[in-house]
Structure 1
């Protein structure tokens, strides 16, 4: 049986998946779109990809990964997520170190999450309720509830308006924020170690994930 995190992940938390910077797709069309409408659109498109049953050849699995990656590029502000995940330590990084961290952070997300699309079972169904939207200036919170395998799971999307678009920078599942989770891990390391040590450790972690990736991508 899948864990709670795995079940919820496929229902709606796909938005934390990704590798590359957002590319500014459809910025004009989104200019007047509400945060909830953005999440509804993103969720519908992602589930369409995941529910399309294909074979399990390496080529077909890569195609599915690329489809989800493309969606993440449109809807997730990875720079904001990276800064918040590093927290107070961000200001201590040189421009070169920031660039290196952002690259490694995106690689970490890719190998931690996008590779998991291979395990999605075709034919699974989820019911998603959009319960509440809060907007405070450039920030928004969209609360949803996912009904999956007879369980209700609370999923919240934290969003930032940038360039006239609402982008996701954090996903909170049952009260657990993925940004806060990374911040806690990174902070515990950086309290007693140097930034260079941290980046080297992160590089090793990414290399390990890549080595264990079934497609070796």
Structure 2
């Protein structure tokens, strides 16, 4: 399952243009996914495994369209309420870095997958929706890839990615809970930071 997250979570990468507040979340997902995959297909450095180039793309195009505070709160679960404001800030920063590196690694692994978009089930005035897609690759079973989006002011923000029915952010919950039990909130922060350092060191060795 971790391989699925690593491979497919990065396929939904949002472009940094300003979008109309009237654009539906499924139209947003389709348009920007197609745009970003076009960039990836044309970028020889990313296809060649350049993590640095992939991170630059993620930093520039993805981050403004994700609600990392809510994503972190979902991942930490009930222990989120144990954290003070500064700890919450640090947790969100470290978790953001972890997800950025996961998405960047997925970009460098992109080959010839295609995305099929499912009809959106959305009621008028609804501000929290699930956009459903399917990832297809020759010779393999399709993988369901869904996105939880919420509307903040006039913009839709991603707060979860669901692969084959399993939430990306809540998939971390038990591991994070164990870290909190062992070392408190500060222990969890240190653990995520150490993981980020480990991933960064591996990326440097590859480059």
Verify: 1:205 aligned to 2:204, yes or no. no
1:39 to 29, 47, 65: 29
Q: Would the alpha carbon gap of residues 30 and 89 (structure 1) be closer, same or farther in structure 2, given more than 3 Å must change?
A: farther
Q: Tell me which moved more, 188-197 or 157-166.
A: 188-197
Question: Which is further off, 45-54 or 169-178?
Answer: 45-54
1:153 is aligned to 143
- 2-structure distance, mates of 1:198, 1:139: 29
* Secondary structure, counterpart of 1:133 in structure 2: coil
**Displacement after TM superposition at 1:91 (Å):** 1.5
Q: What residue is the counterpart of 1:176 in the other structure?
A: 166
Structure-2-length-normalised TM-score: 0.82
Q: Which residue of the other structure, out of 108, 127, 137, is the alignment partner of 1:138?
A: 127
Q: Deviations over 1:106-140 (max 9, x none)?
A: 1111223313422333xx24141323333573211
Unaligned runs of 5+ in 2: none
Q: Deviations over 1:148-200 (max 9, x none)?
A: 22432211111111021111111111111101101222123223431122222
User: Residues 6 and 105 of structure 2 are in contact (CA less than 8 Å); yes or no, is this contact kept in structure 1?
Assistant: no
- Inter-partner Cα distance in structure 2 for 1:55 and 1:166: 30
> What CA RMSD, in Å, does the superposition of the two structures yield over aligned residues?
3.2
- Look up the SS of the partner of 2:188 in the other structure: helix
Equivalent position SS for 1:80: helix
1:1-217 map, 5 Å = 5=4, 9=8, 13-15=10-12, 26=18, 29-55=19-45, 62-121=52-111, 124-135=112-123, 137-150=126-139, 151-214=141-204
Q: Does the Cα contact within 8 Å between 1:31 and 1:165 map onto a contact in 2?
A: yes
Aligned residues between the structures = 204
Counterpart CA distance in 2 for 1:127 and 1:64 is 20
